[in-house]
């Protein structure tokens, strides 16, 4: 709707990629520019606060006493604002076309406040980037929704107050660099609570029996279900304490072994075949969280990776907007899906009527659509020209959307009961005397695949483990009542109950959404934060909490209990939704949160300010100390790492990749055996006659000599040789020869022509050669013992920068190439660096996380590490109030705020 004044209409979107696409659809009469995310925010540090507010003592957070915020233009956005103002001066109209969600609405408001337009200004909204959608959005602009703006501003201020008031408490009492967040800290508590359940879990042993049975034409498996009409216990019959909780009876390993030969000789027959019709119905199209969960389970994507790929698909015009709570499809989308189903699979695969789905999410933004392929007709995956992650995610979205309008799948579920008649009665421990045992077998048959021809949902098994394929039930041969069977084999199976499974990223997203904690658009950023802050590390797909997470959670629970209470956090989220709907005022929410509100049934609702100003003494040592069950040893979280301590003062370091539930009494005593005041004797140094031992110290494992007990103090005070272990060495396997080589360092290689000795040594930054005060890095630790005098002199003759490059070149010769990065198209290498193994594409480096074996890392995992590092951007300078507490969206591909 550009006017005819000769001037153009200025359209502002968030990302350059989107601007380029939309400009092509609008053509002449429009100028499309990008704000590149947020243009202003609360000041990240004191130096950014405007001078006129410097005297206000309450501005540490960028928020004044009356909760009115101070906004500053982000330093890297000043040039963008200048450019936008210049374009606006030559425009007759302004259309603010940022994303159609709360944060997008807030960005539009910030642009409005900063640009101060004197021309007509409207809000342009769309949920897909197609020619028709953009033309309709231009033709039907609306006013800015100030309720959404207020809700987002309230959320931003809440998060700033929470982080800036609580994080310094953690710095003072525990360690600098820790942080607290309104949703982040609750997410950490969820992961910690699950680990607490695992630690408290008592496993129970039980046995079962499996029979491989045959008919005349086929065979199948059946499980023992009852003896003497008493049900045999399975894993679900035990509680977390390892106790039976029902009427089932535990079959012991001894009893199972006794039964096996009796069952092999038994007469087997089918006593009942029960077939029931079964119907499978398709799931709703994707919303943000279900997309994150399924992409995690089916594609192995992290939540952050899923959202970054979805952002690219949206900006490329392939899918609708990816941050939505809605599962609704427009009439246009339904027609596109049903047409494609009929053409591709046939009319019988169409659902008889249009399927309509309702969101199960409270306060879902139903004006939005579900995530689906964009356009009036859906491109088939093979027609898109996409590849790599984009193709995988598009195909997943296309399949889920198409399946949602397909016919139900039909079939039968079959339960077969089988009798094993023993040749003579036998006494079975726990069950009494019996002459028969009952077995069961179950299976499914699919008579019409329906939507399952296209898409099968992932399932989460009762033990908490996730399964990519729901189609795992056994197929059974045709069976009839009274049919005789033969036992091909009978085997006893020993089992142990498992603790609750750890959260995976999809599982944690599902739990956060189920608990109504946070917003779907924030989950990717929350998980990325708790991993980067060392509260959680990944082990395979599982999220494992660190002992630091335990210590921080205990401190918050004890002194700020309701702020990390699940119900309180969910209630606060509901209040923010009420603000967005115009049913509550943001100022009231902020006052209650900061100064305290009325107590209720779940919390005393004490305010943040009273809690932080009246803390009293906090015994950080006590809060960071955890007893190890079945021992007199405790685990402590210290400033230099996590360690265990015995009553006699002996200490041992806890391996960084050890999960808390793995630190049992036996493991703790083992760690004490190789750490603290105890050591592993390796033998005697033939040159000195002293004992050589391997120990674990504050800075890691090392070897040293020990003075004999009879040596007097004056001699004993002399410094004994010691050396850290090389990266390839292990304290449990190091030999005396290895230790003597280490103790020989620094090694005198020879004498230079000028008479200066040349040595090889190992330092905190790696191996090097040295002559006087001049030194050069070596490529590998092995060169400490192999580098010759000539090689050392040649290296020392090079400029330091060239020497480093030469060393890096020799080191990279041993680097492993993993493949081509799907995002940059450049080779990805695995290297061993100063601080451990890392992956690189030549521009971005990413450390291989602890708990991940660098020797087994593959391209997909390396590409994910690099993508996460790129998304974080360069490491900001660290000040007292670092910008890491800010949730500003500085780029269109960044995850939404926290």
Which residue carries 């929410």 as its tokens?
589
Spatial distance between the Cα atoms of 833 and 811, rounded to a whole number of angstroms = 9
The reply to whether 643 belongs to the active site is no
Q: Taking CA 788 as the corner, what is the angle to CA 784 and CA 790, rounded to the nearest 5 degrees?
A: 135
Cβ-in-10-Å burial (0-12, 13-18, 19+) of 215 comes to: middle
Please say whether the beta carbons of 875 and 845 come within 8 A.
no
Please say whether the beta carbons of 491 and 223 come within 8 A.
no
Residue 706: CB atoms within 10 A of its CB come to 14
Query: Which of these, 834, 690, 695, 684, lies nearest to 764 by C-alpha position?
Result: 834
Per-residue buried b or exposed e for 180-213, using 16+ beta carbons within 10 Å of the residue's own CB? bbbbbbbbbbbbbebbbebbebeebebbbbebeb
Query: Which of these, 431, 459, 465, lies nearest to 235 by C-alpha position?
Result: 465
* DSSP class per residue in 718-735: SPPPEEEPPTT--TTT--
Q: Taking CA 540 as the corner, what is the angle to CA 538 and CA 546, rounded to the nearest 5 degrees?
A: 25
Choosing from 164, 206, 314, 321, which is the catalytic residue? 321
Helix, strand or coil for residue 139? helix
- Contact partners, residue 533, CB within 8 Å, separation at least 6: 177, 178, 179
Structure tokens, 167: 């994080």
* DSSP class per residue in 446-457: EEE-GGGGT---
Query: Which of these, 440, 442, 494, 510, lies nearest to 472 by C-alpha position?
Result: 442
* DSSP class per residue in 255-303: HHHHHHHHHHTSEEEEEEEEEEEEEE-PPPPB-HHHHHHHIIIII---H
Please say whether the beta carbons of 818 and 829 come within 8 A.
yes
Strands (E), 773-884: 774-777, 816-820, 827-833, 836-840, 845-847
Spatial distance between the Cα atoms of 159 and 174, rounded to a whole number of angstroms = 21
Residue 689: CB atoms within 10 A of its CB come to 9
Spatial distance between the Cα atoms of 120 and 167, rounded to a whole number of angstroms = 44
Q: Which residues are catalytic?
A: 321
């Amino acid at each position: 709707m550009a006017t005819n004044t000769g001037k153009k209409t200025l359209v502002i979107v968030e990302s350059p990629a989107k601007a380029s696409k939309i400009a092509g659809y609008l053509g002449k009469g429009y100028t499309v520019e990008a704000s590149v995310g947020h243009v202003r925010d609360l000041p990240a540090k004191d130096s950014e606060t405007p001078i006129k507010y410097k005297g206000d003592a309450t501005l540490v957070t960028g928020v004044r006493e009356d909760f009115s915020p101070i906004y500053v233009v982000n330093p890297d956005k000043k040039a963008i604002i200048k450019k936008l103002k210049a374009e606006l001066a030559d425009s007759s109209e302004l259309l603010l076309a940022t994303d159609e969600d709360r944060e997008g609405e807030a960005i539009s408001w910030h642009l409005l406040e900063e640009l101060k337009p004197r021309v007509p200004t409207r809000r342009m909204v769309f949920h897909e980037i197609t020619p028709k959608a953009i033309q309709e959005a231009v033709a039907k602009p609306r006013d800015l929704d100030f309720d959404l703006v207020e809700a987002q501003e309230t959320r931003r201020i809440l998060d700033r107050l929470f982080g800036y008031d609580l994080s310094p408490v953690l710095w003072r009492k525990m360690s600098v660099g820790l942080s607290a967040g309104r949703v982040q800290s609750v997410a950490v508590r969820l992961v910690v609570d699950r680990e607490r359940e695992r630690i408290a879990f008592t496993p129970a042993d039980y046995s079962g029996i499996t029979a491989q049975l045959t008919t005349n034409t086929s065979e199948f498996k059946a499980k023992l279900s009852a003896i003497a009409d008493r049900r045999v216990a399975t894993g679900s019959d035990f509680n977390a304490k390892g106790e039976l909780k029902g009427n089932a009876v535990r079959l012991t390993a001894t009893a199972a072994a006794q039964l096996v030969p009796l069952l092999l000789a038994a007469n087997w027959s089918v006593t009942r075949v029960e077939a029931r019709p079964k119907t499978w119905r398709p799931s709703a199209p994707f919303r943000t969280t279900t997309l994150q969960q399924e992409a995690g389970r089916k594609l192995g994507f992290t939540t952050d990776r899923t959202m970054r790929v979805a952002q690219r698909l949206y900006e490329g015009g392939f899918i609708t907007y990816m941050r939505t709570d809605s599962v609704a499809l427009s009439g246009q989308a339904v027609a596109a899906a049903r047409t494609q189903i009929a053409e591709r699979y046939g009319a019988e695969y169409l659902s008889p009527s249009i399927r309509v789905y309702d969101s199960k999410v409270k306060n879902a933004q139903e004006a939005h659509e579900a995530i689906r392929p964009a356009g009036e007709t859906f491109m088939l995956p093979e027609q898109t020209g996409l590849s790599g992650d984009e193709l995988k995610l598009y195909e997943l979205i296309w399949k889920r959307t198409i399946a949602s309008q397909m016919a139900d799948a039909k079939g039968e579920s079959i339960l077969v009961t089988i009798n094993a008649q023993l040749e003579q009665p036998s006494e079975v421990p726990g069950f009494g005397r019996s002459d028969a045992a009952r077995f069961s077998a179950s299976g499914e048959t699919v008579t019409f695949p329906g939507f399952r021809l296209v898409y099968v949902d992932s399932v989460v098994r009762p033990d908490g483990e996730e399964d990519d394929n729901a189609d795992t039930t056994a197929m059974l041969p045709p069976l009839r009542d009274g049919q005789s069977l033969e036992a091909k084999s009978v085997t006893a199976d020993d089992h142990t109950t498992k603790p609750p499974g750890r959260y995976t990223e999809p599982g944690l997203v599902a739990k956060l959404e189920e608990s109504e904690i946070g917003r779907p658009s924030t989950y990717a950023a929350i998980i990325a934060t708790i991993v980067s802050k060392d509260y959680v590390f990944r082990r395979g797909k599982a999220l494992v909490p660190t002992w630091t997470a335990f210590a921080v959670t205990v401190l918050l629970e004890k002194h700020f209990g309701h702020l990390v209470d699940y119900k309180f956090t969910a209630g606060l989220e509901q209040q923010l939704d009420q603000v967005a709907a115009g049913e509550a005022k943001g100022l009231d929410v902020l006052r209650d949160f900061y100064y305290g509100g009325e107590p209720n049934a779940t919390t005393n609702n004490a305010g943040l300010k009273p809690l932080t100003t009246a803390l009293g003494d906090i015994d950080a040592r006590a809060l960071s100390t955890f007893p190890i069950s079945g021992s007199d040893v405790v685990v402590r979280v210290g400033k230099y790492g996590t360690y265990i301590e015995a009553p006699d003062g002996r200490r041992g370091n806890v391996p960084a990749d050890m999960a808390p539930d793995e630190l049992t009494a036996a493991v703790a005593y083992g760690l004490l055996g190789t750490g603290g005041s105890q050591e592993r004797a390796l033998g005697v140094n033939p040159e000195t006659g002293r004992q050589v031992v391997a120990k674990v110290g504050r800075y890691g494992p090392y070897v040293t000599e020990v003075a004999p007990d009879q040596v007097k103090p004056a001699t004993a005070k002399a410094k004994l040789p010691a050396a850290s272990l090389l990266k390839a060495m292990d304290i449990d396997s190091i030999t005396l020869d290895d230790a003597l080589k280490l103790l020989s360092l620094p090694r005198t290689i020879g004498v230079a022509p000028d008479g200066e000795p040349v040595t090889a040594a190992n330092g905190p930054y790696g191996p090097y050669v040295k002559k006087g005060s001049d030194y050069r890095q070596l490529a590998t630790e092995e060169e400490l013992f192999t580098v010759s005098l000539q090689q050392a002199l040649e290296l020392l003759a090079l400029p330091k920068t060239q020497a480093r490059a030469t060393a890096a070149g020799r080191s990279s010769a041993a680097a492993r190439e993993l493949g081509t990065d799907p995002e940059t198209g450049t080779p990805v290498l695995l290297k061993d660096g100063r601080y451990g193994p890392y992956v690189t594409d030549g521009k971005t480096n990413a450390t291989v996380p602890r708990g991940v074996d660098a020797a087994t890392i593959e391209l997909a995992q390396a590409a994910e590490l690099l993508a996460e590092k790129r998304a974080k951007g360069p490491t900001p300078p660290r000040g007292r109030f670092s910008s890491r507490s800010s949730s500003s969206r500085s780029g269109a591909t960044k995850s939404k705020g926290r």
